[in-house]
Structure 1
């Protein structure tokens, strides 16, 4: 199975179901499938598909999923740049990964454009986001897409082909790229669907960054495989999280320990507002016994399940308290 097939199969089963909600934006699975196909066909047209490295530099945004799946369908390799990269880290990663085209959210575009003279291999900068306009040699996502159609791209892709790069090890020097194949990350979602307590009726919250393996490959991608609606948070805020749970009746979330602590320690915590939240998967950092006890005491009806994994290996194990 290929990464692009995950979305294609779900869009066939649930074309009119909401796939993503992000602020005032929303897309059905059919709309997301069409958007990803347009992106893939534009990459193929511009000779930026199979055999080429491209990148996305963004927090969680509406356009992220279509760029992710579109790149996978094109046969290219998409590098996921941390929105927290310093200028030096960004320059190092773009150059060492030999990135030819970079999709960047408008909030981060100046970081790229101000360093353009230090990025000799970067041919295209494509900016997306509300009210965006081309500047400094960049182009908008709409300009890049042009007349690309939404038909399913015809590309010879093998399950063992690389399709993504995530970065790790930034605490011990410059970030190091981890290249992953379609096969490896599909297996990760199959395992997550089997081993985690995610239900086919869940509405998911995606609050952890898509540029991190847990937020994208293990959590969001598994939700797509299962045909779930994902509520996307561009930035973390405990009050916003509680508002979204109440508004959209969110039932499942992946969170890191600091996010959990900011909710259960908040003076505005109200179990009634979070009454639909039934399952929280957490990881990416250690959780102390004291915090675990506080989690269970604060939200006793929630199923708490911890996971461990690596950027290189994917999800390795899950465990309940």
Structure 2
């Protein structure tokens, strides 16, 4: 079985069922299948063959879904990339994956317009009118492919064929391409359909970027598998989110924690009718217990689920239903999701005892084929079928897993390890702190100094950074060990994040290093 075949089957079984929705636009499963097939023939006319990679730089719109399957229908490999990438980043990916072509939305076109003359790709296509060397997607949609090439038979694709390449979020630098097979996606999509009861009557809202693994592989693919309806919106804003859930009778939504936190602060939140929701799913970055409790109280703990995973694992990992274990808010759960194993191991790869910090490793049928063009890094991450996540955690006496921090983010100050998440959780419990991130910055004496970047809540007492430092030291005294208390505090209006909501700690280190101050 392959994903292209799944869409063809659903086009036959549910021809008139609404599949893709955006504003007033409605596309049925039969139309989706037919349009993907039509564009696949254009791709083959351009020379796209089995295994060729095609880049998609598109926001969350029906065209994304149609083109994604058109690429698969032609035997190609889809490479969805972040809509916010710069020209240099797009050029890097086109070269890295040796793309046979690229599709770009017209609103994103100005940032990459010059690439047609710089890249050897076989075609460059944009939505809207043609421009220079860029062809028009609308022209492709309304014209028949010329010539009569030997059309590729998509039924010959197997579960082991490559289906897409996702580039990691690049929170620490240059992104890496992660390769997946049809079998990988069918596994994790089925996992979500079963775990979260995604079915024929479901209406799944896509507001998180479909260039990222959880929105694409979990929510999008699961909805395709069962023939559910997809509701699209290009970007997340709290007010639009609340309106779409209410008007669209949304049943399932996945968002980064910040999406829920921002929505709770909207004036319209109290009056919004969100009763259609069956599952609110969050993941992508850790939450403190206070934050997790606040979201559960606002959205309903009976519907809220925390998911933990890794792009390289599909993503697959763990999940925790707040309805069952509300007292364990802040944990990532006590079991692997369907088809997934999880362990915490030491440096020698041996399982850690209760309460001992080690590295999380994951194993399942959703696990990546490997990194693109990076065999050494593949071997470092993927060992004997296990994905070594780089996340440090421990398991408590009740069997629940608790993330401590990223292995690479551990701060070493005066020879002592400090785990930033512990400090961040303490900081965000302050009634005037909206969010906080902690990093280690170079220090001439201690090696690194614990540095907090904080965003105050609206209406908080105005303090300069020296004032906040004194307040932080006062507040944290007795809550955490003295050596963990930040030696420097920097105030921001917002923390830098990537499109999936993850905090860019390498950018914070750049900001802190530019300031070049030690306390």
TM bin, normalised by shorter chain, reads over 0.9
Q: 1:312: how far off?
A: 1.7
Partner SS state of residue 83, structure 1: coil
Query: Residue 134 of structure 2 aligns with which residue?
Result: 138
Residue deviations 1:7-56 (CA, integer Å, cap 9, x gap): 12222221111001112211011111111111222212221131322110
**In 1, Cα distance between equivalents of 2:199 and 2:160:** 29
Residue deviations 1:134-173 (CA, integer Å, cap 9, x gap): 0021001133353149x99556322211121100151222
Query: Residue 192 of structure 2 aligns with which residue?
Result: 192
Q: 1:117: how far off?
A: 3.7
**In 1, Cα distance between equivalents of 2:210 and 2:176:** 17
Query: Residue 118 of structure 2 aligns with which residue?
Result: 118
1:147 aligned to 2:147?
A: no
TM-score (norm 1): 0.92
Residue deviations 1:79-131 (CA, integer Å, cap 9, x gap): 11111212221111111111121011011112221343432x22311112xxx
Work out which structure has the larger RCO, using CA pairs closer than 8 Å and 6 or more positions apart in sequence. 1
**In 1, Cα distance between equivalents of 2:115 and 2:224:** 35
Partner SS state of residue 300, structure 2: coil
**In 2, Cα distance between equivalents of 1:125 and 1:79:** 14
- Of 78-87 and 301-310, deviating more is 301-310
Q: 1:3: how far off?
A: 1.0
- Of 193-202 and 155-164, deviating more is 193-202
Do the aligned partners of 1:188 and 1:218 also contact (CA within 8 Å) in 2?
A: yes
Query: Residue 234 of structure 2 aligns with which residue?
Result: 234
Residue deviations 1:158-206 (CA, integer Å, cap 9, x gap): 2211121100151222211011111111111111112224344321111
**In 1, Cα distance between equivalents of 2:7 and 2:47:** 23
Q: 1:73: how far off?
A: 1.6
Do the aligned partners of 2:81 and 2:211 also contact (CA within 8 Å) in 1?
A: yes
Query: Residue 258 of structure 1 aligns with which residue?
Result: 258
Do the aligned partners of 1:278 and 1:302 also contact (CA within 8 Å) in 2?
A: no
**In 1, Cα distance between equivalents of 2:102 and 2:153:** 21
Do the aligned partners of 2:80 and 2:211 also contact (CA within 8 Å) in 1?
A: yes
- Of 16-25 and 272-281, deviating more is 272-281
- For residues 202-217 of structure 1, the aligned pairs below 5 Å read 202-217=202-217
1:56 aligned to 2:56?
A: yes
Q: Between Structure 1 and Structure 2, how many residues are aligned?
A: 316
Query: Residue 321 of structure 2 aligns with which residue?
Result: 320
Q: 1:302 to 1:233 in 2, by over 3 A?
A: farther
**In 2, Cα distance between equivalents of 1:288 and 1:230:** 31
Do the aligned partners of 1:198 and 1:279 also contact (CA within 8 Å) in 2?
A: no
Partner SS state of residue 106, structure 1: coil
Query: Higher Cα Rg: structure 1 or 2?
Result: 2
Unaligned 5+ segments in structure 2 are 323-519
**In 2, Cα distance between equivalents of 1:116 and 1:148:** 21
Q: 1:311: how far off?
A: 1.7
Do the aligned partners of 1:77 and 1:162 also contact (CA within 8 Å) in 2?
A: yes
Unaligned 5+ segments in structure 1 are none
Q: 1:297 to 1:222 in 2, by over 3 A?
A: same
Q: 1:163 to 1:299 in 2, by over 3 A?
A: closer
Do the aligned partners of 1:40 and 1:153 also contact (CA within 8 Å) in 2?
A: no
Residue deviations 1:220-259 (CA, integer Å, cap 9, x gap): 1101111111111111111111111121111221111111
Q: 1:42 to 1:117 in 2, by over 3 A?
A: closer
Partner SS state of residue 275, structure 1: coil
